[in-house]
Amino acid sequence: MTSISRLYRSFSRLAPKGYKKSTRKILVYSGKEKDVDEWIGKYILLGLVLSFVTYVFFSFVLMINATLTLVTVVVLFSMIQIFPRLMADLMAGKRSTFVEEVLPDALLLISSNMRSGMTPDRAIMLSARAEFGPLETEIRNVAKKAMSGTRLDTALIDMTKSIKSEILDRTINLLVQGLRSGGEFASLLEQVALDIKDMQILRKEVRASVMMYSIFIMIAAGLGAPGLFAVSTYLIEQITGMSAGLDIPPMAMSNVPLSFSFSAPPVSPRFLFYFALACMFLTSIFASLIMGMIQSAKAKDGLKYIPILMLMSFGLFFLARGAVSSVMSSMAMF
């Protein structure tokens, strides 16, 4: 063990045991064979170093107040801990999705091998193809365990410990029950594979039927909200500037029959500008999570839409502000 590994392990002691346990599962599901203590300690150390540098820079260079500096440091440290874990979780989800796509083909191949007269362990071993990706390794491990004397149902159950997939879990449980009850294994494999394919087709049809809702959310969050914020913030800036330049005597206002005020808005344009940016930031996050829930019933599947929505939102916001400003300036010249 190197000195840097020991350093990472020492910092990993700051993490709770529950956090380590859940992170270990995520790393296994994502296919990363890494030491969880070293992995966690590396990001804790990175977070502490970057947080300290940020604190010094904000406090002594930019001279920002202590509250904002503290909030920034806490958010930065939290993001450094959360982001790698989210990426590993997304990799686990992507790995699971790929396994579910190729699982019916693998089951049909095992079934055809068994119908040709092979034993179950031999049929499973010859079904491990490179195009099955992560499933190839798991199929090969099942065959090796079965050939070395491990019960086939026990070897199949071990497969579910490294791949997080509800479809795979249900399939393995069904196959194990069929093995233990003495059913015809080849026919069971074939029927399960056909059922999985039917379910995948049904999922694709449902995803296509709800696609319109996702498009509506993307248009509202990425186009509608930025455009409205751009126009409103520009108008507030103009009204504030006009009201600041007006100097109406009180006697003139006393002759106006209606209670009318030319005073500036109580909220500064700069505050509204940053408020609009914060709203678009939060809207992009929650809209992406909602799109993930609509499409696959998993909010984390919508995380991939966050950069796209943020790019659309902020890009359209500044473009719309520039367009409105140029149009209003050209109108003022006539």
Determine the angle formed by the axes of helices 66-115 and 166-181, rounding to 10 degrees.
30
SS3 204: helix
Contacts within 8 Å (CB) and 24+ apart, 209-217: 210/294, 210/295, 211/295, 213/294, 214/291, 214/294, 214/295, 217/287, 217/290, 217/291, 217/294
Residue-level pLDDT at 48: 93
Residue-level pLDDT at 326: 83
Residue-level pLDDT at 283: 92
| Length, in residues, of the chain | 334
φ/ψ region of 117 (left if φ > 0, alpha if ψ in -120 to 50, else beta) reads left
In degrees rounded to 5, what are phi and psi of residue 119? -75, 160
Contact 162, 138 (CB under 8 A): yes
Letter string b/e over residues 235-251, b meaning 16 or more CB atoms within 10 A of that residue's CB: ebbeebeeeeeeeeeee
CB atoms within 10 A of CB 130: 6
Spell out the per-residue pLDDT of the chain, length 334, in tens: 678 888 888 888 888 889 999 899 888 888 876 788 899 999 999 999 999 999 988 888 877 788 888 988 999 999 999 889 988 888 888 888 899 899 999 999 989 988 888 888 888 888 888 888 888 888 888 888 888 888 888 888 888 888 888 888 988 888 888 888 876 888 888 899 999 999 888 888 888 888 888 888 888 888 888 989 988 888 888 777 776 655 555 555 555 555 555 555 566 778 888 888 889 999 999 999 898 888 777 787 788 888 889 999 999 999 988 888 888 777 655 5
Residue-level pLDDT at 249: 58
